[in-house]
């Protein structure tokens, strides 16, 4: 217990800031709060450097994508919010769900892309864990898009991605980040149930013909 306390009390400042910002992002996203995107922006900038330094280059490149998506996500949620305000409606972009068959096809495609990218990383870069690193990166790219579009199943993708990432970060001695991803698994589960509950609620402000009977 004393050793654990000493470790966390001596965390690198920037990694600690990244952990806190990341937790804020997931918490706010689960609550459909648009301020999740600025929090994501802060964490991605820091983690871009951290992952590059420990030879998780795909994860580092992923952070650059996250940065772009943080801006895109803010834009998407903000635009919809403006449109709804003009119609005197409350809330943000409507949560949607994609068919299981579509997700199955997407997973097959992303798996193939992951294997290809992993092979390239294994043969042409000094990166560690090229296949796992590539898989988490490829799937995270798609999952982040799902968050921006408010697709319910994004949280299920994140549970799997975060679970694999825990192993990667422990192997690279990034214990604070590994702990963060343990929390991510539980928070993703929370986010899924929160969004699922809202998804099942009829949108009384929408066109009555679109509300399920």
For range 109-120, the mean pLDDT: 96
For range 52-70, the mean pLDDT: 82
Domain ranges of the chain: 13-200
- What pLDDT is attached to residue 78? 81
Most confident of 5-9, 13-17, 26-30: 26-30
d(CA 57, CA 4): 28
- What pLDDT is attached to residue 4? 46
d(CA 75, CA 112): 31
Give which of 148, 160, 150 is closest to 189, Cα–Cα: 160
Token pair belonging to 18: 């990244």
Q: Using CA of residue 34, residue 36, residue 39, residue 40, what is the dihedral sign?
A: negative
Strand partners, 151: 96
8 A C-beta contact, residue 164 and residue 182: no
Other CB atoms closer than 10 Å to residue 89's CB: what's the count?
Answer: 13
Could you give the percent of the chain with pLDDT greater than 70? 83
| Secondary structure of 96-148 in HEC code, one letter for each residue | ECCCHHHHHHHHHHHHHHHHHHHHHHHHHCCCCCHHHHHHHHHHHHHHHHHHH
Q: Using CA of residue 28, residue 34, residue 39, residue 41, what is the dihedral sign?
A: positive
List Cβ neighbours of 90 (8 Å cut-off, separation of 6 or more): 84, 205
For range 154-170, the mean pLDDT: 94
């Amino acid at each position: 217990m004393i050793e654990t306390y000493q470790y966390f009390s001596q965390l690198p400042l920037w990694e600690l800031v990244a952990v806190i910002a990341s937790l804020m992002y997931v918490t706010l996203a689960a609550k459909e709060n648009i301020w999740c995107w600025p929090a994501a922006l802060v964490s991605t900038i820091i983690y871009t450097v951290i992952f590059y330094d420990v030879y998780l280059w795909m994860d580092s490149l992923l952070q650059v994508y996250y940065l772009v998506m943080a801006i895109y996500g803010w834009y998407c949620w903000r635009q919809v919010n403006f449109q709804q305000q003009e119609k005197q409606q409350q809330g943000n972009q409507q949560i949607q769900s994609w068919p299981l068959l579509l997700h199955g096809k997407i997973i097959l495609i992303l798996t193939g892309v992951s294997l290809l990218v992993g092979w390239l990383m294994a043969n042409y870069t000094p990166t560690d864990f090229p296949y796992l690193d590539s898989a988490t990166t490829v799937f995270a790219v798609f999952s982040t898009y799902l968050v921006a579009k408010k697709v319910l199943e994004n949280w299920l993708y994140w549970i799997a991605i975060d679970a694999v990432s825990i192993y990667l970060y422990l192997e690279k001695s990034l214990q604070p980040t590994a702990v963060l991803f343990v929390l991510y698994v539980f928070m993703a589960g929370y986010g899924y149930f929160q969004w699922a509950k809202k998804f099942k609620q009829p949108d009384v402000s929408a066109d009555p013909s679109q509300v399920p009977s």
